[in-house]
Chains A and B, each alone.
Chain A
Amino acid sequence: MKKNDVILQTVTNVVAFMIILFSLQVFFSGHYHPGGGFIGGLMTSGAIVLLLLAYDIKTVASIIPIDYKILIGIGLFFAVGTGAGSLFFNVPFLTHAFNHFDLPLLGETSLHTAVLFDTGVYLVVIGVTMTIIQTIGESE
């Protein structure tokens, strides 16, 4: 019988954007509220898994043309790089710093190098989750 997934696919198109936005919000508010890189990454990969459920693996790979194994590498590079960056300023490994910057549109914002470390965690979590799920899904 022909498959008919119109309802699931239409709802997925709407809901995936909501999940990704919420995961980004959780990721960026991690310093002051519950959240952070780990849960944000899991939620983003949850949105991609929802896309995988509604469409097939090839379609999703053409929508999001990312090799997730490379994403793991980039994430680890971010994490190690922010740690090693502190060595240039004669402070111990993984020492973080913050400062206030006057950004356009956002006004005065405090930017912290821990966010870069968190970005590493975020990318690694997305990469690992999606690699696991795609590897399991493809081996039939």
Chain B
Amino acid sequence: MTEIIKVFVGIFVGLGAFLCMVTALGIIRLPDVYTRNHAASKGSTLGIMFILIGAFLFFYVKEGHYNSRLLLGIVFIFITSPVAGHLISRAAYHTGVPLWKKSVLDELKDKEKHEKHGLDRSNGEGK
């Protein structure tokens, strides 16, 4: 019974560490802020959650210690880390960090221009 759980713990921790490494590689190799942020906020979130699940299982099986702080930590990271990524991306966009040269589409830019024109015309037709 505990041997099976040990294998699971190994898988969880190994996979989490691997995902964190992939995140680091993504931050180094990807070209601009937005793609890097994409790698950082997704990969490391899942990686850290896997590592925490592994730690939780390990202490629960080995010492019978039900550590609710780890569960709270998992939920907390799952909630907050994507929001942090979103806020960093948004701050970068609004301070005018350029997109990657080969980017094709920037719908937010068109939308903001549209809004500005709508305001200039003073409650014009543009929504």
Contact = CB atoms under 8 A, between A and B. Distances in A.
Nearest to B115: A1
B86 interface: yes
Nearest to A1: B112
B83 interface: yes
Contact of B83 (A8, A18, A22): A8
A7 B87 CA distance: 9
Nearest to A11: B83
Contact of A11 (B75, B80, B112): B80
Nearest to A50: B80
Contacts of A11: 79-80, 83
Contacts of B69: 22
Q: In terms of DSSP, what is the predominant structure of the interface of chain B?
A: helix
B42 to A, nearest CB: 16
A111 interface: no
Contacts of A22: 69, 72
A14 interface: yes
B5 to A, nearest CB: 25
A80 interface: no
A61 interface: no
A15 interface: yes
B76 interface: yes
A18 B87 contact: no
Interface in B69-127: 69, 72, 75-76, 79-80, 83, 86-87, 112, 115
Contacts of A1: 112, 115
A8 B80 CA distance: 9
Interface in A102-126: none
A132 B87 CA distance: 25
Contacts of A8: 83, 87
19 contacts: A1-B112, A1-B115, A7-B83, A7-B86, A7-B87, A8-B83, A8-B87, A11-B79, A11-B80, A11-B83, A14-B79, A15-B76, A15-B79, A15-B80, A18-B72, A18-B75, A18-B76, A22-B69, A22-B72
Given A11-B80, A18-B75, 11 more contacts: A1-B115, A7-B87, A8-B83, A11-B79, A11-B83, A14-B79, A15-B80, A18-B72, A18-B76, A22-B69, A22-B72
4 interchain residue pairs of minimum CB distance? A11-B83, A7-B83, A7-B86, A15-B80
Interface of B: 69, 72, 75-76, 79-80, 83, 86-87, 112, 115
